[in-house]
Structure 1
Amino acid sequence: MRAGRERPGPDNKQAAPLAKGRPDDPHPMRPDRKPMNTTVPTPTHRPDVDMDVDPAFFEQAPPQDLEAEQCVLGGMMLSKDAITDVVEILEPGHFYKPAHETIYGAITGLFTRGEPVDPITVTNALQRAGELARIGGAGYLHALIQTVPTAANAAYYAEIVHDRAMLRRLVTAGRRVTDLALAGEGDVEQIQDAAAAEINAAILQRADTETLPIGADDQDLIDELEAGQRGETEAGVPTGFLDLDNLTGGLKPGQMVIVAARPALGKSTLALDFARHAAFAAGRTAVFFSLEMSRRELQMRCLSAQAKVGLHNLKTAGGMDAAAWSRVAETMTDMRRAPLLLDDATGATVATLKAKCRRIQQRQGLDLVVIDYLQLLQSGRSRPESRQVEVSEMSRNIKLMAKELGVPVVVLCQLNRGPEQRVDKKPMVSDLRESGSLEQDADLVILLHREDAYDKESPRAGEADLIVAKHRNGPTATITVAFQGHYSRFVNMQSDF
């Protein structure tokens, strides 16, 4: 039972299950009252309860309360207030019996259109949709009205239906986890990630929110304003780029941050710089998921940037002198202590990444997530409708992931060829490849541009622009930084090279 809902009955005590002549039933079962019609076909398959699994594992019937479902629907046909209460709790898929799901859809459809809701109008709606016979006919709808004790209890019965639906989801997730373990396909860690993703998907629920007057929490607002004026506002995760951090206040919890560029301009390097600074300089736990580079390559790049030893020198025989070896040794010591996690998550889905992040968060805390890069993620769908729809769905799921984890998630994206068709080669938000929803979902969009990548004679050789093209609730700007490709890093222009 969720907070904020009172159970009906004297002194708010727990109500007994529906029964004939229950004390709080204003209409106890009378001799002239017809019993409930139970001839409606029972479901042979439910999307949320997979029956393809060996029934020997789970011999009990899935959790459900058909009588509560009937009382919900009957109450909704008796009272518009009951409809208002129920729709805040239930979705169509929460009903176990398909016929009840269909009736619920008809009721909410009428309600949404502002039309009357009663057995007659619901019958007509179902008849027009060709569903009346499948749900048991008009007689079943009238029987629902007769069964409900009182429409005032509809929200309470809806909570029961909701709770049973959540239990069914857990049962289904348990079955799928069992199947994954028994199949044994892939390594153990992949199976664990997939299992965790199933469980997390089953328990994920939208948090109940309360609608409040605009001034209800004004003291909290005043405290926040005063803290901001004193310079005490909680800072986000620093990126290490001073002008960018001054503009944004750091990367904030729940933000989806897009770093986008054309190929080979250094977006992976920039994102690794964010993670490096967060872990090495600020002591924040960061995880870098690379779907493109191996863990070893990430380590080498990080070592080169931290130790100021050229990446080429690290890989070339005799490329390091004694001073370079000394810096490498010192950096290796720092790397062992730094809370920076690397994962070459080839073929990952958003669900598996979220499962890994949850484990990290529970084990040691988590402050920053970097995903390199979006277009290499798998959607998990066997037959996606289109690539644009697929990317839009992944974008939305990443945004939800950031909010659920309460950490900033930096997502790298490829730009289309738009910049190359312009004279100045500068990127725009509209160049984001395959989905307009990326701009919509993102809180911060940073477009990386380097003139010398297109013009070798450019007077701005070694410079790069971080174009903050979108900044939700903040200003936009173009920030110039230095690109040190030999060290695999970007640095502030004021830095000592």
Structure 2
Amino acid sequence: MNPLHNAEQAVLGSVLLDPEQLAHLTWLAPGHFDRPVHQALFAALRKLPDDGHHATTAETPVPLSWVTDAVDAAGLHVRGLTAVYAHTLVSACPHAAHAPVYGRMVLEGAIHRSITGHAIRLHQAARADALRGGVEGALHCADVLSGVLSDLAQRWGSEPRPVEPPPATAPVTAALAPLPVEAGQAVEDERFLLAVLTERQKAMDEVVDWLRPGDFSDPALGQLYRCLAALHHRGEPIDRITLLWEAQRRGLLSAGTLSGDQLTAICDGVGSGSAEWLGEQVLRSSVTRTAAASANAIRDLAENDALAPGHLISHALHALGPLTEVRTRWRAAQGHNAPQQPSSVPPPEAVPTGRVRAALARSASQHIPPEGDTPSRPSPHRLRAPGSQLTPQFPAAAPPSRT
């Protein structure tokens, strides 16, 4: 027994029984139905009144032609639809007046399917980007998914704002492990970057503003980068000895996170390299891993049928938060400015002219000319605010003392 399938049949059956129910289903689209035959039939039922079908204006009971004409119109787009199935839909509707409730169930199923499909596309784009060494596909799919979530929130009537899911419904996701297609190269880039940061003076200045320990696929290497960042923040010298000491102070050696031999192996044999370029490779891998993790989390949420659409949309927006954060740092690494948020301040032309002049008259400061110069006469709009009868007086500033 499929509740969603029953709800789709009930919606169509209610409209076949009572065409006036279409007026209460203007927000429901044919694409919200799961089965193609239901999509075609609902599209035909919505089109018949626009074509002036007499069933929508007749005061007598609904004529049989309303059913047969809808079946014939829908049969032009799908195969196998007969009048027998139309009567099955009618018998599947308990009450025609409950059509809006049935339609809401159909929309709820459409929201879950739509979010699931976009999450799958986001994960596929992240894997493709990891293969070709880019991030554009994943970031584009993330933008599309964010727009879809906002549109679905508007259709459902909820506010599109990120909300962290409670532990009971939070998806169980693994740590940001490397994608299989990039695992080996990602760890190699991370080791080489740490070696360059340790051996080359001032190399941390090239990456410290936008690279974070969480961007490393190997947690142990991320902890080493944290040690380097701490030394850089305190202004202490950085070399393999100070790095080993900092790792010991942070308990990495005693906890078994890494050993002194492993640290020495990372720092040995380093040649020339660009810390900025290597850091960008590490951050690029972090973008694709984060996109894949967000996609998996959103898909797990969308496949939970017990989750209400409003909560699903809010939790999905929250799952996109880590990707938005690492994307901002990626743009900073590429030298792009972060996108400006729309300002809530109205444009200058929208502010009344009188208010602007009054504000200028109250806030404009007087110019104190040097000694020996003749002060120029201030303009009238600085002497008198609109509607005022007195000239505002400002205390004269004391002339600067000469040495």
Shared fold per TM-score greater than 0.5: no
- What TM-score do you get using the length of structure 2 for normalisation? 0.37
- What TM-score do you get using the length of structure 1 for normalisation? 0.31
